[in-house]
Amino acid sequence: MAQTQANVAALFKETYREVIPILFEVEDDFCSRISSRSDVERAGPRTLRLPKKMYNGGQFRTFSPDGGDMGRGNAAVYDAATLTPLPTLIALEQNKSVKWNTANDAIAVHNAAKDLLTDGMEEYKAHLDRHLMTAGDGVLAVSTASTPPTVTFGTSGLGSRLLRAGNRYSFYDTTLATNRGMQTCVSVDYPNRKATFDALPAGFTNGDKLLVDNITGATPTWLYGLKYHHNSAATGTWMGLSRVTYPQVRTPEVVASGALTPAHIRIAKSLVELNRGGKVWSTGKWEWFLSPAQRKAYEDLGIAQTKFDRGAQHQGLEMMFNMDKLSIDGMSVLVSVNADPTRIDLIDWNNWGRGETLPLGLYTVEDDSVFQVYGASGGLAAAELTYLAQIAQYFVDDPSRAAIISSLTTDSAF
């Protein structure tokens, strides 16, 4: 019988592609633009106070120079916004076999252990960017339908966009009064606004909300994100200051209730000027923050007005804009896949800041940042743990130094 290829298969060398594609995104542009402020002292475990001058004071009136009563006066009114830094971490765990085997070039095409901290930092920022899209209540997604263990998260807004595969989430009822427990997200289908979990918690009901892993208590307070600070509500509080008593802590809002138009952009900027004066644009670091859906809506406005000329050499047709050079009314644009596709925010990055108790970095105990894992027997396990941790909260100096264009419609593709 002739020797076949199957008989000598053990002799063949296996070949590998050394390039390792990344099949997920690690968006972190929003959080990367917010820095720790040098004018804010390191915060302790108690509340951080941010004094604000609410009014200049002084009473303007006429008077009679012929011995008339000139009246009494007043002076500036001060109050303080407050925030409490909150602890966050990302836990990285690796078996010893990964460390030993992938570190050897002779048997592995890539050193997975070497990437652990780099990947961990990227993943931390990817999560933080998502949490900074929320309204301070920690709600990352709201369920609308389910075929256990898969959940659907609505037909508008962010859907499942802020969820991350491999992470655990706390399931709360729609009022945020009851924590039903934590479950692990196995996969996320962003286009179809779905996510699949290892299981759904007891009592799960359509309308339940997903919050950060390990959070506890009813109506929890979480990181103060974009929708917390950029808020036009006339009731409630902003960092402890009443929106009723101080209307100046409300963010100007243009309710579009339809597709984006140039008028929405001009009105939004005009409202900021009405609140903070015409010189507001000469200070700060201004940028429009929007989703790819609203970038398309803005480009559609431009394409509709574009005239195409054929040159003498009959040059090829180019109907699209250069996205890298996109600007809106002379201001740069930050496009993020994590941005709510139904709104556009006008942001002054110099207005944002971070109050810290612990800057982001390796969690250490007596200078040791790699921790042993123990097995069920009480003996050592062949695995190691590393943590990246931060204790911080996010703030803006002036909520009126911003604008929102809300209730925007999107193309069906989004």
Centroid of chain to Cα 197 = 22
Cis peptide before 359 (omega within 30 of 0): no
Instruction: Return the half-sphere exposure (C-beta side, CA atoms, 13 A cut-off) of residue 336.
Output: 29
Asked if residue 33 and residue 44 are part of one domain, the reply reads: yes
Asked if residue 365 and residue 342 are part of one domain, the reply reads: yes
The last residue of one of the domains, among 180, 203, 220, is 220
| Nearest residue to 29 via CA among 281, 401, 332 | 332
Residue 370: inside a domain: yes
Question: In terms of pLDDT, which residue wins out, 229 or 94?
Answer: 229
Please report, to the nearest 10 degrees, the dihedral formed by the alpha carbons of residues 259, 265, 267, 272 taken in order: 130
Asked if residue 379 and residue 231 are part of one domain, the reply reads: yes
Residue 17: inside a domain: no
Asked if residue 384 and residue 324 are part of one domain, the reply reads: yes
Residue 12: inside a domain: no
Asked if residue 391 and residue 373 are part of one domain, the reply reads: yes
Residue whose structure tokens are 């820095």: 35
Q: What is the pLDDT of residues 365-410, one digit of tens each?
A: 988 888 898 989 989 999 888 899 999 999 999 999 999 999 999 9
Residue 160: inside a domain: yes
Asked if residue 46 and residue 189 are part of one domain, the reply reads: no
- Its pTM stands at 0.86
Q: Which residues pair with 90 in a beta bridge?
A: 388
Residue 97: inside a domain: yes
Asked if residue 266 and residue 145 are part of one domain, the reply reads: no
How is the chain split among helix, strand and coil, in percent rounded to 5?
20, 30, 50
How far apart, in whole angstroms, are the C-alpha atoms of residue 341 and residue 24? 20
**Cβ density class 303-325: b for 16+ within 10 Å, e for less:** eeeeeeeeeeeeeeeeeeeeeee
Residue 388: inside a domain: yes
Average pLDDT over residues 153-181: 92
* Residue-level pLDDT at 163: 95
Count: domains in the chain: 2
Q: What is the pLDDT of residues 192-226, one digit of tens each?
A: 999 999 999 999 999 999 999 999 999 999 999 99
The last residue of one of the domains, among 220, 243, 273, is 220
Residue 59: inside a domain: no
Asked if residue 144 and residue 254 are part of one domain, the reply reads: no
| Nearest residue to 89 via CA among 240, 209, 214 | 214
Q: Please report, for the domain that includes residue 350, its CATH number.
A: 3.90.1690
Sign, Cα dihedral of 292, 229, 389, 184: negative
Q: What is the pLDDT of residues 236-251, one digit of tens each?
A: 999 999 999 999 999 9
Rounded to 5°, angle at Cα 175 from 169 and 181: 30
Q: Which structural domain range is residue 171 located in?
A: 137-220
Give residue 412's pLDDT band: very low, low, confident or very high (50, 70, 90): confident
Please classify residue 97 by burial: count the beta carbons closer than 10 Å to its beta carbon, then call 0-12 exposed, 13-18 middle and 19+ buried.
exposed
Asked if residue 261 and residue 337 are part of one domain, the reply reads: yes
The last residue of one of the domains, among 220, 250, 278, is 220
Asked if residue 148 and residue 95 are part of one domain, the reply reads: no
Residue whose structure tokens are 């390039």: 19
Residue 184: inside a domain: yes
Q: Which range is most confident: 117-121, 191-195, 356-360? A: 191-195
Rg (CA), the chain: 27
* Residue-level pLDDT at 349: 95
pLDDT over 60 at 18, yes or no: no
* Residue-level pLDDT at 19: 46
Asked if residue 278 and residue 405 are part of one domain, the reply reads: yes
Asked if residue 243 and residue 160 are part of one domain, the reply reads: no
pLDDT over 90 at 333, yes or no: yes
